[in-house]
Structure 1
Amino acid sequence: MSMKTKPLAQGGGTLKRNLGLWAIVGLGLGYMTPTVVFDTFGMVGRDTANVVPAAYLVALVVMVFTAISYGKIASAIPSAGSAYTYVRESIHPNLGFMVGWTSLIDYVLLPMVNCLIIRSYLEALFPDIPGWIWVVLYCVLVTAIIYLTMRGTSNANMVLLVFSIIVMAVFVVMVIAQLAQGHGAGTVASIAPFLHDGVTMGAVLMGATIVCFSFIGFDAVTMYAEEAKGPKIMPRAILLTVILGGAIFLVAAYFTQLRFPDWNEFAPGGDMQYVEDSTLPIIGHLVGGDVLRAVLTAAGFCATLASGLASHASVSRMLLVMGRNNVLPRRVFGYINPRTHTPTFNIVLVGAICLLAIPFSLELIAAWINFGALIAFTFVNVSVIAWFAVRKGLRRTPRDVFRYIVMPAIGMLLTGLLWANLHQDALIGGTVWAVLGVIYLLVLTRGFRRKVASFDENETVTGFNKLPVPSPQQPLDDDLDDELDPTGAR
């Protein structure tokens, strides 16, 4: 989620190093939204033949290798906070641009996922109200909040995170009690959630490509590299975020799978709409009736709304920096409203994109997001090899070969494997977007005759419109730096 970071001066400066290990881990876990495991449970159960925990285990293994690579490259390039920055610095600016352009898909569409999940919650609670009304209301509310202010919410993030985890723990305890009474699989110890007759590796990989978007957020902690109390914190924070997040997903998925051995329990009458949207309200109702459904939905709602605010604000800021650097038209995307001190055009644009959640399903948008995210993850592994083994020459000892070639190569192959198993529509749409990026890169570089402008969402954006420097009698608006730095994006 976002947090308060204050430059030392209006025109830009250094960020204050005041974040400890657990503060950063909490921000990463909050962005991952732990309750999302219930949202996608139905569709993943369908695609994996009821081995959702196996899909999470595969995704976790892939993410651990990638997290190790993130930790290594974040230590080497501590001022950077994204895959395209790492690729730009370690390989080539043009390739860095393409990685950034491709991963822009998941930046832009992530707010829409939050909108889709919120819509499904409210449709479950108020089935007589058309879903498009909730989409419009959500988009207007979130856009209006960020339009007026983008103050950091790290403390609120921690409260929402703790609340969500407590509710999930209560849910697990209730499920264990029901299993002991003979419900579901009738046991708390079984390998069936990971392996049983009829399960194929291809199906598990398909499920892993869906759930890997649940891990999006562990790389968001790289955004705090310049605010960590010490340089050794970042690699540990990245790895801890992945491991703890993965453990939460695995435990919740394991016991939920035992309680619901067949995904068809979520699709009465064969209605696929029940599994293509969030199954969280259904799971809550079947386990604890209306009370647990309301509590679990409230936990999911709060966590998703907070993540939605952060992702919406973050992509708006990223577009602002791209506009500032003329990667996108400066007059439009680089504009900061002098009254609200926010990039109002970008905020409204992202809100308008979120309106597209009306006709789309959660499954398809998640697949498109994973296209960009897995491209970014793959190239982070590549950048480790390029930076350490090639540029720094750390390839002469077996230890260096293992750390800087073998480990990232495994991560690269694993993320590439998941990418190849993405939904066909996501591969087609993502490829079209990548081709557009190549064409745009040709224009920006005048046929590759000059370097492409860099865009880093960590870069200071205050003062772009030459706002007046306040007098001692009129102190600078405390919201300004927060509004232009809603860190918490990937």
Structure 2
Amino acid sequence: MLTPSEAATGDAANPAGDPEISKFGYTPQLRRSLTFTDLLFYGLIYMVPIAPFAIFGSVYAASQGMVALAYVAGLVVMLFTASSYAQMVKAFPIAGSVYNYAGRGIAAPVGFIAGWAIMLDYFLVPGLLYLVASVTIEAAVPSVSAWIWLVGFVAINAVINYFGIRLTAVAINIMIAGELIVLGIFLVMGIVGLADGRGNGDWTSAFFNSDNFSFGIVLGSVSVAALSFLGFDGISMLAEESKGGARQVGRAMAVVLLLAGLIFIAQTWVASLFVTDPAGLINGDAATVGNAFYAAAEAAAGAPWLATLCLVATAIAWGLPDSMVAQTALSRLLFAMARDKQLPKFLAKVSSKHASPVNAVLFTAGVSLAISGTALYYLTEQGEDTITLIATMVNFGAMVAWLALHAAVIWHYIVRNGSRNWLLHLVVPLVGAGLLIAVLINMKLYTQLTGFIWIGLGLVVLGVLFAMGRAPKLSGVGGSDDKAADVA
């Protein structure tokens, strides 16, 4: 509970009297308790520093062996997107991410569709993480069913998220240390393995192979590798809980993206040096592709212990800290849209004790369990590759939403506010949008079709809202406060 003095002054760790939120017509409810380090760790854990462990084989096959190049290209695409995020979080430092940025930067209906698109990402990511974690750890501990691991992971994360962002941040800071330790062990053993002559001697093909190179192949592999980069944007969901406000959020997104990108490039390059049969991996079956990183780890150490360590680390990382922050991001998106009456209002309920959107947290946990449980059933009982299907769908939703983000930067700053910062407010978003379109074009056809069906469903929902006289409307839009403080 707030003391009278805290309520009067609105101290940095307290939502009361928060001018950044109040000026948009909202009553501050979330607590400002996150430092720059908390945001950095949140973004890193959401991006999963060891994410390539699980999808290394898929990216390797899609890139025709140029796996490190796929991550370099992915980093470039994401840097343009991060720049647009930083510009919009300065203008609108509130929860909701691209939903709010597109809605306030262009128009509320556009924001609804952008939020709907990225909701596909945020709904599916926790389910994907739980699915991979459960299947992976069952392989390491076959005596315990994947279903038990699945329910356990969801329950633990729901409890931590329920008790508020501060506990979530503490848990994240502890868990990310474990991921980085395992990654460090892999890289050290990789160096040792190279020194002992266990590598394949192919030092450059992971970055460029003239026999296989084409822009279509690179862009197609980025559509898979992009899964590793998803999460830096989740930091923007915490704009109302950051002590340093909008600028701190923008800096955290840029720093975490660069750090994670370099980590991804380093580990995939090292792993590629221990691929014993490149052609076999490129053309391999699902089992070969799925176990590619662990096979490389075993080759690097010259013994199976490193493969087991990496496998268990992947399961724990994807099942606990990574899915935890994914659920946090989704709950904030649902909270933001419900607060604007574009989703059922019960999702906007905030616990006065824990300062967390408790109903959105519990709803997110239920949806994650349903998605991952359904996918696990079809994977184990029907033999369908639901992991790859969900991964590509996640990337589609995010990229469509990011297109709206780039458009919002141009419209809000250049068209509406007359900015003359042509680089950040026109050139960067145009190039960023062009790169995203190129990646979308090179996605698999079934991904494009399913993704556009989802967008079409969002348009139907939007039409129903208009027909019911509930057209999307954002609090505070239309007044002088809706303009950016600095458009230079």
State the TM-score, normalized to the length of structure 2: 0.81
- The alpha-carbon deviation at position 450 of structure 1 amounts to 5.6
| Unaligned 5+ runs, structure 2 | 1-12, 18-25, 379-384, 477-488
Does residue 178 (structure 1) correspond to residue 178 (structure 2)? The answer is no
| SS of equivalent to 2:94 | coil
Does residue 365 (structure 1) correspond to residue 390 (structure 2)? The answer is yes
Summarize the Cα distance change of 1:182–1:201 in structure 2 as closer, same or farther, 3 Å threshold. Answer: farther
1:235 to 244, 250, 253: 250
Deviations 1:83-107 (A, max 9, x none): 1110000111111101111111111
| Unaligned 5+ runs, structure 1 | 457-490
Q: Distance in 2 between matches of 1:231 and 1:334?
A: 22
| SS of equivalent to 1:232 | helix
Residue pair 2:127, 2:372 contacting (<8 A) in 1 also: yes
Equivalence for 2:472: 452
Equivalence for 2:9: none
- The alpha-carbon deviation at position 316 of structure 1 amounts to 4.4
Equivalence for 2:403: 378
Does residue 440 (structure 1) correspond to residue 461 (structure 2)? The answer is yes
Does residue 204 (structure 1) correspond to residue 229 (structure 2)? The answer is no
Does residue 88 (structure 1) correspond to residue 88 (structure 2)? The answer is no
Does residue 287 (structure 1) correspond to residue 300 (structure 2)? The answer is yes
| SS of equivalent to 1:195 | coil
Amino acid at match of 1:37: P
Amino acid at match of 2:314: G
Amino acid at match of 1:432: I
Summarize the Cα distance change of 1:233–1:212 in structure 2 as closer, same or farther, 3 Å threshold. Answer: same
- The alpha-carbon deviation at position 260 of structure 1 amounts to 1.5
Equivalence for 2:21: none
Deviations 1:278-315 (A, max 9, x none): 64443433333332123222332332121112323543
> What is the number of equivalent residue pairs in this alignment?
439
Amino acid at match of 2:342: V
Residue pair 1:45, 1:262 contacting (<8 A) in 2 also: no
**Counterparts of 1:8-87 in structure 2 under 5 Å?**
8=16, 13=28, 15-87=30-102
- The alpha-carbon deviation at position 266 of structure 1 amounts to 5.6
Q: Distance in 2 between matches of 1:103 and 1:303?
A: 23
**Runs of 4+, deviation exceeding 6 Å:** 334-341
1:427 to 439, 448, 452: 448
Does residue 301 (structure 1) correspond to residue 315 (structure 2)? The answer is yes
- The alpha-carbon deviation at position 36 of structure 1 amounts to 0.9
Q: Distance in 2 between matches of 1:147 and 1:159?
A: 17
Residue pair 2:200, 2:274 contacting (<8 A) in 1 also: yes
| SS of equivalent to 1:445 | helix
Q: Distance in 1 between matches of 2:255 and 2:75?
A: 12
Does residue 356 (structure 1) correspond to residue 381 (structure 2)? The answer is no
Q: Distance in 2 between matches of 1:443 and 1:205?
A: 37
| SS of equivalent to 1:79 | coil
Summarize the Cα distance change of 1:125–1:282 in structure 2 as closer, same or farther, 3 Å threshold. Answer: farther
Identity %: 29
Summarize the Cα distance change of 1:17–1:108 in structure 2 as closer, same or farther, 3 Å threshold. Answer: closer
1:155 to 170, 187, 190: 170
Q: Distance in 1 between matches of 2:179 and 2:133?
A: 15
State the TM-score, normalized to the length of structure 1: 0.81
- The alpha-carbon deviation at position 49 of structure 1 amounts to 0.9
Equivalence for 2:148: 137
- The alpha-carbon deviation at position 353 of structure 1 amounts to 1.8
Summarize the Cα distance change of 1:316–1:232 in structure 2 as closer, same or farther, 3 Å threshold. Answer: closer
Root-mean-square deviation (Å): 3.1
Q: Distance in 2 between matches of 1:337 and 1:70?
A: 29
Q: Distance in 2 between matches of 1:232 and 1:243?
A: 17
Does residue 274 (structure 1) correspond to residue 295 (structure 2)? The answer is no
Deviations 1:348-370 (A, max 9, x none): 23311221221243222110000
Equivalence for 2:238: 224
| SS of equivalent to 1:104 | helix
Equivalence for 1:257: 272
Deviations 1:427-453 (A, max 9, x none): 111111111111111111118x66315
Q: Distance in 2 between matches of 1:104 and 1:73?
A: 19
Q: Distance in 2 between matches of 1:308 and 1:367?
A: 17
Which structure carries more helix by proportion?
Answer: 2
Summarize the Cα distance change of 1:243–1:261 in structure 2 as closer, same or farther, 3 Å threshold. Answer: farther
Q: Distance in 2 between matches of 1:369 and 1:270?
A: 24
